[in-house]
Amino acid sequence: MDKLKLCYVILAVVFAASCSSTKNLKDNQRLYTGAEVNIHSTANISKKQKKEIKTELESLARPKPNSKVLGMPVKLWVYNFAGTPEKKGLRHWLKYKVGEAPVLYSQKAAEKNRAVFQNRLENRGYFHDTVTLDTISKNKKIKSVYTAEIGKQYTIAAVSFPNDSGALAKQIQKIKKWSFLKKGRPYDLDVIKNERDRIDKNLKQHGYYYFSPDYLFMKVDSTVGNQQVNIDVRIKAETASKAKEQYRINDVVVYADYDIQSDTNLTTNNAIKYSGYTIVDPEQKFQPKIFSRALIFKPGDLYKRKDHDLSLNRLITLGVYKFVKVRFEDVDTVKGNYLNAFYYLTPTDKKSIRFEASAITKSNSSNGGELSVTWKNRNLLKGAELLTVSVYGGMERQILNSSSRVYTNRLGTDVNLYVPRILSPFRFETNSGFVPKTVFNPGFEFYNRTDQYTLTSSHLNTGYVWKENVKKEHQLNVIAIAYVRPSNITDSFQRQLDTNLALARSIERQFIIGSSYNFNYNSQNEPNYRKNNFYFNGSLELSGNLIGLIGGANINKGKTISLFNTPISQFIRTQVEFRHYLRFGKYNMLASRAIGGIGYAYGNSNTMPFVKEFFAGGTSDIRAFSSRSLGPGSYYGGNPKVVGYLPEQPGDIKIEANTEYRAKLFSVVRGALFIDAGNTWTVREDSLRPGAKFSNAFLSEVAVGVGAGLRLDFNIIVLRLDAAFPVRKPYLPSGSRWVFDEINFGSSDWRKENLVFNLAIGYPF
């Protein structure tokens, strides 16, 4: 061992000794190191079952011992190292923000754990079993050891349901075949609770508004022998008579302009009737028809909890109300059991305006800023239409020398109109909790760079957005038009375009007219603590296909179709993205992503529009490579030995995979280790970019990067800093693309050439 390594070892030993986890404990205190559970069984229980029981019981133990990083209580060491700070400062911050106080052993807590374990085993069908408590203590450290002596798990022998002549019992009988309680299944108290909720949910769907799970009694008989139980589902004798009756909807009264500070007993003197609803809106702020579309309940309908919830959700998603509530009350009628429904809707501000300003300074002596103004009207035509109008402008000035200045000016507007219904000649209905919307989105931008060119672009998208539920969303753009026109190209810039295809294509004249469809599924849109969560996004875009087919367009034969002296782009483009989130505890997670996409130009075009191409590299992509500069294929857009600016490199095909382990370090600080892999390719040969075409050797052209990152997660915003470097460079000669042997963090040249820092907002995926 050389002297340097010996010094490191000595320093590590000294630090560990100075940070002893028990040095500040009193004589009667012991550091709690956790709970160990041992399962002993007299019955034939599988290893898997024992492991599940052990894992479940250990998860119930409280308190949790001090957290560890790589097996070491680093936070506790920091807490002890900080000592006793007299006032706020670095030591105070280390001790109370970074550090973690020692978790001490408590006999009372240990005994409570034993009782909890015993109860949980009984709830799982291990009756008459015993849990004992012992401890192991050494060097002021102590852990609890619990031993569970269990027998065979009780199973269900038979299940019976109410069978009297009442309507309530008959309804329960109708749904018993879907019961969670099945003969032969293990006894489990949680399953019994879920069965009560299942029955209650079904009864609420059949008009039993006043019913409650508490009215159901599950009588369990464990004396039948052979370690089995009989379960008798009963309706309690003290069940209220109302709970046994079905109810229908009588009147639906909507207070469309309700003030939350006022009395709920509002007058209906000025109300109007519309489609069976009573609408109270003295100032006529809203068209009555929006309520007939949003509300599921109709007078005379049987009460259903699903319709109850859907109506509330649809009213909220209209976007014009900040508070929504409903109240039901009995109605004395000779017709039977009826409820009046009262909806109290408090409008949000109809109009709002937002100003945003930003300043820019770059290392190339460029400075500037941007100002944007966004105006919103949340009830444009009194039908809950949302109109947003954004106007933005920016200017950048770059000083090249004492006599040369370059100005970049940008001015544009973007308009979005959301109509809360489907405007279509075809019938389109959805009964989800989200109101479907028709979207109109026109926009225009003027971009001028004084020493190069002027670019004007216009777009118009018209389509629909609708949700099946909170997890699934569809977006269909029936019409998607984009028109880009360059002008005022200077002679010097034209010479650059003549030698740089990627640069030329970035400002080429483009006319895109077609349609697109996008489907999104995200299980995390519904808050949950599941171990596995999934995300899927799939899109399909078409442009110029119908026009090209009718006109017989064929660019290879010189037959093209143009509008405004610009050929219409004809292509098909599709992309899919899949993500998986594997949770380890509350904060730790393994997040993975896979992306695949392809665009194919034909007929009226032989290349994809630049804005519809795929790119690789960047802050949320393959982070070890510069933004949008990787590939395509084995092509490299610069000099591998010279570090500098790399032009954007478009491709027709993209394949990418990422995986990232995320963990909480302390407070709001999160850490991550990640690996990214992928590339783009072209469909056709590109003479100016050799090696760009996709082939059966594509796997040898996949780039790989690894790295680590820090994130400040404030819930409302996440600030992210990632550092990454390539371990596989596809542009190097075949057989030399893995570059592990070149990694040298001590070399400034290596760092300059390979280390990439990414500063961004939000997680990469």
Same domain, 661 and 592: no
Confidence class of residue 407 from pLDDT cuts 50, 70 and 90?
A: confident
Average pLDDT, the chain: 89
Residue 219 lies in a domain: yes
Q: Would the pLDDT of 549 be above 90?
A: no
**Burial class, 216, CB count within 10 angstroms (exposed 0-12 / middle 13-18 / buried 19+):** buried
Write the single-letter amino acid at 754. N
Residue 123 lies in a domain: yes
Q: Would the pLDDT of 361 be above 70?
A: no
Count other Cβ atoms within 10 Å, centred on residue 483.
18
Phi, psi (deg, nearest 5) at residue 485: -135, 115
Mean predicted confidence (pLDDT) in 439-461: 92
Helix, coil or strand: residue 325:
strand
Residue 323 lies in a domain: yes
Look at residues 92, 123, 150 and tell me which one is the last residue of a structural domain. Answer: 150
- How confident is the model at residue 334, as a pLDDT? 79
Same domain, 647 and 701: yes
Instruction: For residues 311 and 293, give the distance between their C-alpha atoms in angstroms, rounded to a whole number.
Output: 10
Orientation angle between helical segments 167-174 and 189-204, nearest 10 degrees: 120
Domain that holds residue 715: 613-765
Instruction: For residues 619 and 676, give the distance between their C-alpha atoms in angstroms, rounded to a whole number.
Output: 11
Residue 74 lies in a domain: no
Confidence class of residue 218 from pLDDT cuts 50, 70 and 90?
A: very high
Residues 693-733 have pLDDT tens digits of 999 999 999 999 999 999 999 888 899 999 999 999 999 99
CB 657 within 8 A of CB 681: no
Element (H, E) at 360: strand 351-361
| Residue 333 bridge partners (DSSP) | none
Q: Where are the alpha helices (DSSP H) in 43-178?
A: 47-60, 74-81, 90-93, 107-123, 167-174
Same domain, 656 and 712: yes
Same domain, 184 and 235: yes
Of 352, 411, 357, 434, give the one whose Cα is nearest residue 387: 352
Confidence class of residue 404 from pLDDT cuts 50, 70 and 90?
A: low
Q: Which residues lie below 8 Å from residue 675, measured CB to CB, with a gap of 6+?
A: 658, 659, 660, 704, 705, 706
Residues 52-72 have pLDDT tens digits of 999 999 999 999 999 887 788
Confidence class of residue 1 from pLDDT cuts 50, 70 and 90?
A: very low
Residues, the chain, total?
765
Residues 628-660 have pLDDT tens digits of 889 899 999 876 666 666 778 999 999 999 999
Q: Would the pLDDT of 291 be above 50?
A: yes
Strands 228-235 and 155-160: parallel
Q: Is the bond preceding 162 in cis, omega lying within 30 degrees of 0?
A: no
Please tell me the pTM assigned to this model: 0.78
Distance of CA 112 to CAs 29, 131, 237, 342, 519, Å?
A: 19, 12, 36, 48, 50
Confidence class of residue 678 from pLDDT cuts 50, 70 and 90?
A: very high
Count other Cβ atoms within 10 Å, centred on residue 174.
12
Confidence class of residue 264 from pLDDT cuts 50, 70 and 90?
A: low
- Say which CATH number the domain at 190 has: 3.10.20.310
CA geometry: angle 200, 201, 207, nearest 5 deg: 85
Mean predicted confidence (pLDDT) in 591-613: 93
CB 437 within 8 A of CB 419: yes
Region of residue 562 (phi > 0: left; psi between -120 and 50: alpha; otherwise: beta): beta
Residues 609-632 have pLDDT tens digits of 888 999 999 889 999 998 888 989
- How confident is the model at residue 289, as a pLDDT? 93
Q: Would the pLDDT of 366 be above 70?
A: no
Confidence class of residue 14 from pLDDT cuts 50, 70 and 90?
A: very low
Least confident of 2-6, 390-394, 433-437: 2-6
Same domain, 467 and 551: yes
Mean predicted confidence (pLDDT) in 152-176: 94
Instruction: For residues 621 and 656, give the distance between their C-alpha atoms in angstroms, rounded to a whole number.
Output: 8
Instruction: For residues 310 and 296, give the distance between their C-alpha atoms in angstroms, rounded to a whole number.
Output: 7
Instruction: For residues 330 and 343, give the distance between their C-alpha atoms in angstroms, rounded to a whole number.
Output: 15
Give me the number of domains the chain comprises.
5
Work out the percent of the chain whose per-residue pLDDT is above 90. 63
Write out the two tokens for 376.
């919103």
Residue 746 lies in a domain: yes
Phi, psi (deg, nearest 5) at residue 243: -70, -15
Same domain, 205 and 318: no
Mean predicted confidence (pLDDT) in 113-118: 96
Q: Would the pLDDT of 23 be above 70?
A: yes
Same domain, 587 and 629: no
Same domain, 678 and 698: yes
Strands 141-150 and 31-41: parallel
Look at residues 222, 244, 266 and tell me which one is the last residue of a structural domain. Answer: 244
Same domain, 525 and 551: yes
Q: Which residues lie below 8 Å from residue 479, measured CB to CB, with a gap of 6+?
A: 460, 461, 462, 463, 513, 515
Look at residues 347, 375, 403 and tell me which one is the last residue of a structural domain. Answer: 347
Q: Which residues lie below 8 Å from residue 254, measured CB to CB, with a gap of 6+?
A: 277, 278, 279, 280, 281, 291, 295, 343, 345
Residue 405 lies in a domain: no
Residues 330-342 have pLDDT tens digits of 998 778 899 999 9
Same domain, 135 and 163: no
Mean predicted confidence (pLDDT) in 12-23: 58
Same domain, 502 and 530: yes
Least confident of 1-15, 156-170, 687-701: 1-15
Mean predicted confidence (pLDDT) in 739-747: 92
Same domain, 747 and 618: yes
